[in-house]
Chain A
C-alpha cells in the first residue's frame, strides 16, 4: 500500500476543481504563448489538466500547484508538439482581445510588441512568460526550467533587453555584454 494518503473521490474532485478555477486562465495563456496557436493551446491545457487529475495524489503541497501545472504543461508540449512544428510560424491573432486602442499608432505598436514577444528565442521567451504570466520568482523559474538561477536571470535580462532595443531606442547596448560577465 502506498504511503501517500489516497483522497476519496469527492475530496479529490473538489481539490481538482479548485485548481482548475485558480489556474486555468494562466495555464492557457502560457500555453498560447508557448505554441502560438489557440487550438493547440486548448488541446495542451486539456491534456495538462487530465494528467494533473491522474496524478493529483502526488501533489503534496497546494502552494506548489501552479509551478507543478506549468511543469506538466511544458512536458506535454515537448511530448506532443515541440518535436516538430508544422508551419506554426504564424501567430493566431484571433486569440488576442482588442484593447482600447483606437489610434493607428497604438495598434501598430501593439502589433509590433505581439510579434516581438512571439518571435523571441524560446530560451528567452519562456522565462519571461513564466515571470509575467505565472508571477514566478527567479528561483521558481529555475526549478521549472531546470536551470540555475544565474542563467534564468541572464535570460530574463536578454529577453527584456531585446524588447527594450525595439521599443526604447537608444541608450545602453545591453546585447553586447557577454553571458559570462552577466553570470559572474
Chain B
C-alpha cells in the first residue's frame, strides 16, 4: 500500500480492521505511530461529541408524540445584551426581552435571497474590474442611490473597484465592491425596511451579514474566512443615508 493510500485510510478511519490496512500499519514504526496518534485523537473526539447532555425527559416526551413547541433561540447578540443586562439591569432587561424573540421575518429572508442573487448576478461584472475607482466616481454613483460616503481616510485606503446602483425587490440602494483579503467583498446598502435583527448570510460559497442600518440595511458579502467584521466597523461609520 503506498503512503498516500495509507494516510488516506488512516485518517478516514483509524479503526479500519481490514487485513491490508492492518498489515500496512505494522510495516513501519512511522505508520504505526501515525495510526496510534489518530486513534488517540479519535478517542478525544468521541468523548467530546458524546459529552453532549441529552435532556432527561426527552425519551418520555418523544414517546408522548406531542408536536414540538418552538422556543425562541438565544442568539449570540442576545447573549451579549444579556451580559450587558447584568450591568445595567433596568435597560438590559428590556433589551434582552426584545432581542430574544427577534428572528428574521419572511421579508428579511426575502432580502437575504435577493441580495445574494444580486451578488451572483453582478459577479462577472465586478470581477472584470481591476482598477480602483476614484473617490468622486464612487460618490457620484452611490449618491444617485441616496447614499453618501463620509470622507474617511481609512475608507480611502480600501481598493474599491466597482460601484453601481442596485434595485432589489425590497428596495433601492448601492452596491460597491472592494478587494478583500480573500477576494472581492460586496457591500450593499439598501433602502428598505430594516431587518428585525442582524443575521448571517447562509450560502454555500459566501459568508456575509445583514445588518439593520438606519433607514435600511447594510449587507456585507465576501468569501468564507474574509474578516467581515473589519469592514462592518469601517462602513457603518462611513455610510449615511442622503434621502
Contacts and interface: CB of A to CB of B under 8 A. Distances in A.
A67 interface: no
Contacts of B66: 46
Interface in B7-35: 7-9, 11-14, 34
Interface string B112-133: 1000000000000000000000
Contacts of B8: 153-154, 157, 182
Contact of A29 (B7, B52, B71, B103): B52
Contacts of B70: 43
A20 B62 contact: yes
Contacts of A129: 49
A140 interface: no
Contacts of A20: 59, 62-63
A59 interface: no
Contacts of B59: 20-21, 24
Interface in A132-165: 132-133, 138, 153-154, 156-157, 160-161, 163-164
Interface in B171-209: 197-200, 202
Classify the interface of chain A: helix, strand, loop or mixed: helix
Classify the interface of chain B: helix, strand, loop or mixed: helix
A110 B198 CA distance: 30
B233 interface: no
Contacts of A24: 54, 58-59, 62
Contacts of A117: 45, 48-49
Interface of A: 16-17, 20-21, 24-25, 28-29, 32-33, 37-40, 42-43, 45-47, 49-50, 53, 82-90, 92, 95-97, 99, 110, 113-114, 117, 128-129, 131-133, 138, 153-154, 156-157, 160-161, 163-164, 167-168, 171-172, 174, 177, 181-182
Interface of B: 4, 7-9, 11-14, 34, 37-38, 41-42, 44-55, 58-59, 61-63, 65-68, 70-71, 73-79, 103-104, 109, 112, 197-200, 202
